[in-house]
Amino acid sequence: MKAYNELSKKELQSLKKELEAEYEKVKEMGLKLDMSRGKPGKDQLDLSLPLLDALTSDSSFQCEAGVDVRNYGVLDGIPEIKRIISDLMGTTPDHMIVYGNSSLNIMYDTIARSEVFGVMGSTPWCKLDEPVKFLCPVPGYDRHFAITELFGIEMINIPMDENGPDMDMVERLVASDAQIKGIWCVPQYSNPAGICYSDEVVLRMANLQPAAEDFRIFWDNAYAIHHLYDDAKTILNIVEACEKSGHPDMYYEFCSTSKVTFPGAGVAAIIASPANIAEIKKQMTIQTIGHDKINQLRHAQYFKNADGVREHMKKQAALLRPKFEAVLSTLDQELSGLNVGSWVRPVGGYFISFMALPGCAKRIVALCKEAGVVMTGAGATYPYGKDPQDANIRIAPTFPSREELEKACRVFVLCVKLASVEKLLEE
């Protein structure tokens, strides 16, 4: 098949007719498929079922802090779960607070605390005359952008390549503008591009010279252990990098077991310097008496140690790998050589990112929807929902069954073809 941009107008018109006929047939099938959100599949949830039997009425409830986990006490997480998470994340328990079920909630809290109380003695952001700004590597995670938008924080797009954000731009901006207080990063298997930040990017990140003393790197390491293949490459450790660079307080790292055990019923943590941790605890001790220690102990007893989690993640990978490969192979087979888009081949995480021809993303998502396939809204991967190129589409292959996924992919590539032909005919 020739590349679409090399086809004559006549060829495009005839192709369009074919594709439209095919599309009408698909619509008649009345599909109801969803590739919109990064939700685990039922098989993944079943994998974690034994967790629910790890703590029952005849268990011992004494945690290593000498406290009955069924009662009040222990603000920052029981020692057992802190040890497991800090081993996995390559840090130490004194760098960690374990929270409830949601790392997104910790990020929201971290922004809210900075807005109302400031950061280590800085002016509360809500008291500043000028709006606070955040750097947003794009495409990125819509829920990050929703938090900063809610607080009226101005978001600045930072382009990404296969090594991570454009660090020349990041360095220049943070050094010159004291209103820039943070940068959103998903450094390992980024959402949605699946990119792992290169060592150089992580080191340059840790060596930033921000004009704002209360600048922080918001390091959402959501997919730190979510490798699809055994020979996983992990990114440099931000804690060590920031300590070595002489900026030990410059990052907040976030993680959770939402995509390890159960979304909404796992445990989440913040990793930060002991000075940041002390600052956070001052507010947290007023905010809550403590998080769900029974669930923390349940997780600790089930996994026993970091290796227990790693073994579990291999089983998760075995379920996810074929789904990612199915999407990629459909894209390869159906779209390679057509010059109608590009895609990355992530080796972990939860998403595949598709770059359509400029101006086609919204149309593709709309066509998919009309044919019964829900995709993440076009634009969602950019601040304010505005993709300047209208090109990026996030594919979430985890939730549908393998069979549904294959159907949904067929619809997706058909819609990509149709929208691309429409676009080329406009030009």
Tell me which of 1, 29, 52, 425 binds a copy of itself, using CB under 8 A. Answer: 52
Among 27, 37, 281, 369, contact with a copy of itself (rule: CB under 8 A): 37
Among 23, 36, 40, 218, binds a copy of itself (CB under 8 A): 40
Q: Does residue 45 interact with a copy of itself by CB under 8 A?
A: yes
Range 91-112 burial, b when 16+ CB lie within 10 A, else e: bebebbbbbbbbbbebbbbbbb
Q: How far is the CB of 189 from a copy of itself (least distance, A)?
A: 18
Near a copy of itself by CB under 8 A, which window of 38-46, 203-211, 247-255, 405-413? 38-46
Which letter, b or e, does each residue of 313-348 get, where b requires 16 or more Cβ atoms within 10 Å of its Cβ?
beebbebbeebbebbbebbeebbeebebbebbebbb
The verdict on 101 binding a copy of itself (CB under 8 A) reads yes
- Measured distance CA(369)–CA(31) in Å, rounded: 10
What part of residues 292-321 is at the interface with a copy of itself (CB under 8 A)? Answer: 292-295
Which parts of 237-276 interact with a copy of itself (CB under 8 A)?
262-265
> In the window 135-164, what residues touch a copy of itself (CB under 8 A)?
143, 146-147, 150-151
Cα(175)–Cα(149) distance, integer angstroms: 23
Residue 218 binds a copy of itself, judged by CB under 8 A: no
Q: What angle do CA 164, 169, 175 make, to 5 degrees?
A: 120
Cβ proximity of 7 and 398 under 8 Å: no
Q: Confirm or reject binding of residue 336 to a copy of itself (CB under 8 A).
A: no
Q: How far apart are CA 220 and CA 176, in angstroms?
A: 24
Tokens of 348: 């972990």
User: φ, ψ for residue 377 (rounded to 5)?
Assistant: -55, 135
> Closer CB to a copy of itself, residue 14 or residue 287?
287
Under the binding rule (CB under 8 A), the answer on residue 187 touching a copy of itself is no
- Region from 9-17, 23-31, 94-102, 321-329 binding a copy of itself, contact rule CB under 8 A: 94-102
Cα–Cα distance measured from residue 8 to residue 6, given in angstroms and rounded to the nearest whole number: 7
Nearest-10 crossing angle of helices 79-89, 293-303: 60
Nearest approach in angstroms of CB 64 to a copy of itself is 16
Kindly tell me which of 376 and 420 has the beta carbon lying closer to a copy of itself.
Answer: 376
Least distance CB 288 / a copy of itself (angstroms): 4
Q: Which is nearer to a copy of itself, 256 or 420 (CB)?
A: 256
Under rule CB under 8 A, how many of the chain's residues touch a copy of itself?
54
Number of H helices, E strands in the chain: 13, 13
Does residue 8 bind a copy of itself (CB under 8 A)?
A: no
Residue 55 found at the interface with a copy of itself (CB under 8 A): yes
Question: Sign (positive/negative) of CA torsion 412, 418, 423, 427?
Answer: positive
Strand partners, 62: 68
**Beta carbon of residue 400, minimum distance to a copy of itself (angstroms, whole number):** 13
122 binds a copy of itself (CB under 8 A): no
Residue 237 or residue 261: which is nearer to a copy of itself going by CB?
261
- Answer for which of 127, 233, 244, 345 binds a copy of itself (CB under 8 A) is 127
Position 13, amino acid: Q
Contacts of 91 by beta carbon, 8 Å cutoff, 6+ apart: 237, 239, 271
Please report, as ranges, the residues that interact with a copy of itself according to CB under 8 A: 37, 39-40, 42, 45, 48-50, 52-53, 55-57, 59, 61, 68-73, 100-102, 104-105, 108, 112, 115-117, 124, 126-127, 143, 146-147, 150-151, 262-265, 283, 286-295
